[in-house]
Structure 1
Amino acid sequence: MTIRNICIYGAGALGGTFATKIASGLGTEANVSIVARGAHLAAIRDKGLTVEQGGDTAPLKARVTATSDPSELPKQDLIVTGLKGHQLGDAAEGLAGLLKEGTRVIMILNGIPWWYFHRDSESGHAERQLPELDPEGGLWRLVGPERVIGCVAYQGAEVTEPGTIRLNGEGRFFLGEPSGELSPDLVSISELLGRAGLNIIPTQRIRDEIWTKLMGNAAYNPISALTRGRMNSLMENPVLVAQVGKVMAETKAVGEALGAVFSSGVDQQLGRSGGFGPVKTSMLQDLLAGKALEIVPLTGMVVALGKLAGVPTPTCETVLALTLQLDRENLRN
């Protein structure tokens, strides 16, 4: 696979991190462009992207081609989407315009992705589409699940001001084909991004990684938004920790019913979470910024897939109902 033109579609915290590291790490080896909007786009055009990370002697900076209109860009060899699950549907046509034969699309997503059942050999639901995540079927039809490489990201990141991103710790990014193959494309892309300074881990079981991360996201994100609490304050409250544990247990049960294998249990996940500092979850960041919340791909899909698999999810249903109402009220104000 020849990778020359790389577009980051949605250059928020994680998308901007990819763009900056690829552009600075690969230099003239790659033509890096981004699709962004608003004040973030204006700042990137004016002064480029800056990524700050604790322990670094100096921030990482990069200049990239930036636009709000993907039709201004050439066809791409590789696209990396930094959009959240509830934003992707509106980008289907823009993404489709950047595709050519052989283009691969890395989708950095929290929660269940729209392509989840493509070439899934374990759940019994192969090729089932998910209208909750792709209501008009545009992503399936225009982008195509066969182009996707799944990505599960462990990287705390926040846009601290337009054009500037702050990272918390050293990130890890699991990449995997929906089929489970270690394909030549996956190997080539992983090697390229690794040379750019990204910590890439190819996997043959990307769905296991999706569910393992979802155990935390389905709980911490909505509960932090409902309480406006940072991670350290959530974990200091034993009543909230108990509810987090219930959401995790329900999420794990649904994932296992669909064939996922978990490397850790609820107690282990809770034990690791106790070490977090005053970190704002991505959903809390969106709530405070007045943005729509990414609730359906997270807790919403635990509930939906629980019904599909015949697994009860009463705590998730309560958290989902409360967070959906919070989202409506927050957008109304």
Structure 2
Amino acid sequence: MNQGSKNLKVAVVGAGAIGGICAGLIAKAGYDVQVVVRRPEHADEIMSKGIRISGIRGSHRVKIQAVSRIEDMKADRDVVLLGVKATAMTDVVEKMDLKPSAVLVSLQNGFCEQALARIIGPDRVMGCVTGWGATMHGACDLEMTSLGDFILGSMDNKEDPRLEQVQEILNHVLETKISPNIQGSLYSKLIINSCITSTGALCGLALGPMLAKKRVRQVFLEIMKEAMAVARGLDIKVEVFAGRLNYYTFLKAGGAFAEWKRHLFLRILGFKYRRLKSSSLQSLERGEKTEIEFLTGFITSNARNLGIPVPVNDQVLTMVREIEAGRRKISSANIDQIQF
């Protein structure tokens, strides 16, 4: 990857809301892009009719090269943007034919980079936090629903000239920042995702109705406190989330007034994003497995290795697993059963 970024060949694996919008806007900017999707008819539609993008970045329709098998992805790709669900990523990456200089950029929720590095090597994986929203209305009908940015970085937190090349590519989607502490940025998003997606999967509510309940806000705060204890054990400096939520100061102060302010912040968060629906809940409603193992599961497995108690995260993980297995129903009663 020593050529100018405009000459780099890009593959986007997974053309859901995030991946599909990335593929469309990067291809529209003039890059050689290939998309990998699951279904042949989806690939045919992307090539014949194109991906339709609407929303905050305007309306576009872009035709792109597409295949429906990972084995058919061109081996000449320089940058691979991985947008499949975390539950499928290892199977997908193991089947990739990557040239030695190729770099893989993880767009998933959760802390997936370590698992990917075990397959293809840590020097070929870049961490990336996706800080914007999108919705998939149909196979090729995608809407960018909120602005934000990408945060990009090397997993060893060292300088890497390839970062600027990938940054230039992703800038055609939204502003991309390079972080000297990508693990801290990934963990910051993992904490809030563990709060929102896991509790949403348990109770079946959108974020607004969820955070209107004091009990849910208490669960959020306990998840955060336990996750921060694990971060200290892992020696991860957790970055401020979305430029607003500093977990260190948010959780530090004691007393009734500080607790009231924490609950007020969560109430406001719930009101602002009141229609936000847990991605894990959406997976359960489709009869699919959630990404819980890469969110709450990342916290609990590291806590176990470090000998740090995380009882609320343990309970949440167990309950979601029971829902996945059909042994528990999605219900607000699940939140009431969590013991602090």
Output aligned runs, 1:85-234, within 5 Å.
85-95=86-96, 97=97, 99-115=98-114, 134=115, 139-140=116-117, 142-194=119-171, 196-234=172-210
Output aligned runs, 1:1-333, within 5 Å.
1-2=2-3, 3-24=7-28, 26-27=29-30, 30-38=31-39, 40-54=42-56, 56=57, 58-75=58-75, 76-95=77-96, 97=97, 99-115=98-114, 134=115, 139-140=116-117, 142-194=119-171, 196-262=172-238, 263=240, 264-265=246-247, 266=250, 270=266, 273-274=269-270, 275-329=272-326
Amino acid at match of 1:152: V
Unpaired runs of 5+ in structure 2?
Answer: 241-245, 252-261, 328-340
What value does the CA root-mean-square deviation take over the aligned residues? 2.3
Between 1:269-278 and 1:295-304, the stretch displaced more is 269-278
TM-score by length of 1: 0.84
Displacement of 1:198: 2.1
Contact 1:160 1:166 in 2 (8 A): yes
Percent of aligned positions that are identical: 26
Between 1:32-41 and 1:286-295, the stretch displaced more is 32-41
Contact 1:159 1:165 in 2 (8 A): yes
Contact 1:153 1:173 in 2 (8 A): yes
Change (3 A) 1:187 1:280: same
1:120 corresponds to which residue? none
Unpaired runs of 5+ in structure 1?
Answer: 116-133
Contact 2:70 2:92 in 1 (8 A): no
Higher Rg: 2
CA distance in 1, matches of 2:132, 2:146: 7
CA distance in 1, matches of 2:136, 2:326: 24
Displacement of 1:42: 4.9
Secondary structure, in 3 states, of the residue corresponding to 1:51? strand
Cα distance per residue 1:131-183 (max 9 Å; x no partner): xxx5xxxx546522220011111122221111112222103111000121231
CA distance in 1, matches of 2:43, 2:227: 37
Cα distance per residue 1:100-146 (max 9 Å; x no partner): 1311111112222242xxxxxxxxxxxxxxxxxx5xxxx54652222
Cα distance per residue 1:300-331 (max 9 Å; x no partner): 1110001122221000000000001111229x
Displacement of 1:40: 4.2
